[in-house]
Amino acid sequence: MDKDWYCLVSLFFINGINSIGVYTKKDLKNMGALEAYIRMKEPNLCFLYALVGALENRTWLDVAQNDKTRLLIELDNLKYPD
């Protein structure tokens, strides 16, 4: 296991993210934060912000404050393509 990975993503989310085949930061990068969020069927947007933050070495709060609108639009486009 990638120990730095666990420093970036709360232990609260580890079991859930492991269940979709994400064990390292590289796994998450390959899948993408939005895709991981959709596969997890996670209703809490803080989880999405934590995934993005883990990829970008930022806190979930920084992501929520600065990227919320962009992420919600991208998420909406993935869930409901034209």
What's the 3-state SS for 67-81?
HHHHHHHHHHHHHCC
pLDDT tens track for 13-55: 767 788 899 988 899 999 999 999 889 887 788 888 988 988 8
Closest CA to 50 of 11, 10, 4: 10
Separation between Cα atoms, residue 34 and residue 60, nearest integer Å: 14
Report yes or no on whether pTM surpasses 0.85. no
CB 55 within 8 A of CB 2: no
Residue bearing tokens 């998420």: 75
CATH classification at residue 68: 1.10.150.20
Mean pLDDT within 66-70: 93
**What's the domain range around 67?**
3-79
Q: How many domains does the chain have?
A: 1
Separation between Cα atoms, residue 36 and residue 58, nearest integer Å: 18
pLDDT band at 7 (very low <50, low <70, confident <90, very high): low
